[in-house]
Structure 1
Amino acid sequence: MPVEVPEPPPMLLPPAELPRTQIIERNRHRYEDIHRLVDKRWTISAIARRLNLDRKTLHRFRDRDLDELPASARERRPNSVLEPFKAYLNSRCTEAQGQISGTRLFLEIQARGYRGSHQVVRKHLAALRAGTVEPVRADIPSPRKIASWIMRPRETLTESQDQRLLQVRLACPDITRACDLARAFADLVRHRRGNLLLEWIRQAEQDAPKPMQGFAGFLRLDLDAVTAGLTLLWSSGVVEGHVNRVKTLKRAMYGRASFELLRIRILTQP
């Protein structure tokens, strides 16, 4: 009879561990310090002061597992040198139905300012043909940038800025209406056309986005004063300037000098 050979015991693999890099070790120690203080019922503000960390960083370390932190760091890394040219490469490949050489595309984007290697372009094209490439994210301007384009006089915008603003307006009707009303109100301020304020308020209350409707409602509550401010040459700007100067002196001398010295500086400085 054949002798049965006992099966070897299953091999116990060591638990998966993160690589011992400097960033991983820093995250590990930071993760342990944060959770130790959280277990002691410290507040986020107290932990931020103790470890000298931002509150957003504390929330990320508190709410995620340790093995998720390196992945989140990779998600926040800056775009590659090819990132600004991916949209162009994708559109060119689509137009040519994939029948275009990588060398030609490399020369085309190099003429447009690409300073990377040919190998990076070849890898992207291979992933594009295989259908595994990630879609290119749209370059959406920030709300602050859109607001700056709207509030500046149109003649001061560059051609590209004016074109970007037009694309934003076409994509969002609310921004289109807000842009028209904001520019009309800026015209009232710059040229002191207070007599047209009431008509502007009526238009804003009728079909403007809700934030602008609320702004128009506040203007109506003190209509006479706002109309005077948009009509007369006089304003409280000079007084506000002196108030700002006095506050600046107070903050600069806080805890360092007496009231008499502060009084002298306020009265003598121009």
Structure 2
Amino acid sequence: MELWREVRTLGYAGRAKAVHLWLQQHRSVPAKTTPHRWRKETPTPSGGPPALLSPKRLAWALVKPAEARNDEEAAAVAQAEQDAETETVAGLARRFTALVRAAGRTAESDHAAAGLEAWLTEAGSCGVTAVQTFAAGLEQDGAAVRAALTLPWSSGQAEGQINRLKLLKRQMYGRASLDLLRRRTLLAA
């Protein structure tokens, strides 16, 4: 209460409850009035192994450039890349990510197509079944993949709008009429 009075004299317009909640969240040691069962000492970290990254975070860390990784990600990537197969897959994933990110921005479309051909050749002979299957699927749809990597146009904006409309439609199943769907669609736009 005393702190609230002090900050109020300095111009704070909030209520005392807000100050109390803020103090609860930012307190480093328990208050004198805290019951004993809630006064657990924070455990000091032991010198054990570091916590593992989730599979999703590790996948993103593997395709990130080395200079963009934090210490935790760099350690996890270094540990994962001790396996030769993982190192091969990570290298292929980084190169493919770079190809896709540079899509439509490169001045020379032949360069992007040559990069894709080199990547497909290497991925097809890497020895990892999942990567070989992915590369075979890209080769099957080769014309579309080459167009996506070499042409400056994208259907991303249209696909995003379609996805948004489908989400609205799914939320409406069994609810109401076409008029309500039309209203929700127009209000969401």
TM-score tier after normalising by the smaller chain length: 0.5 to 0.7
Larger Rg: 1
Using CA pairs below 8 Å that are at least 6 residues apart, which structure has the higher relative contact order? 2
Change (3 A) 1:202 1:235: same
1:155 aligned partner, one-letter code? E
When structure 1 is superposed on structure 2, of 229-238 and 211-220 the one drifting more is 229-238
Q: Which residue pairs with 1:168 in the alignment? A: 80
1:184 aligned partner, one-letter code? R
User: Mapping of 1:85-234 within 5 angstroms?
Assistant: 85=46, 87=48, 141-170=53-82, 172-192=83-103, 193-234=112-153
Unaligned runs of 5+ residues in structure 2 are 1-41, 104-111
Unaligned runs of 5+ residues in structure 1 are 1-79, 88-136
Q: Which residue pairs with 2:172 in the alignment? A: 253
Identical pairs, percent:
36
Quick one: distance in 2 between partners of 1:162 and 1:251? 41
Quick one: distance in 2 between partners of 1:267 and 1:242? 12
State TM-score, norm by structure 1. 0.46
Quick one: distance in 2 between partners of 1:141 and 1:238? 33
Contact 1:195/1:231 (8 A) holds in 2:
no
After the TM superposition, which parts of structure 1 deviate over 6 Å for at least 4 consecutive aligned residues? none
2:175 aligned partner, one-letter code? R
When structure 1 is superposed on structure 2, of 184-193 and 143-152 the one drifting more is 143-152
Quick one: distance in 1 between partners of 2:127 and 2:136? 12
Quick one: distance in 2 between partners of 1:186 and 1:260? 44
Q: Which residue pairs with 2:8 in the alignment? A: none
Q: How many residues align?
A: 140
Q: Please, what is the CA RMSD of the aligned residues?
A: 2.5
Change (3 A) 1:196 1:86: closer
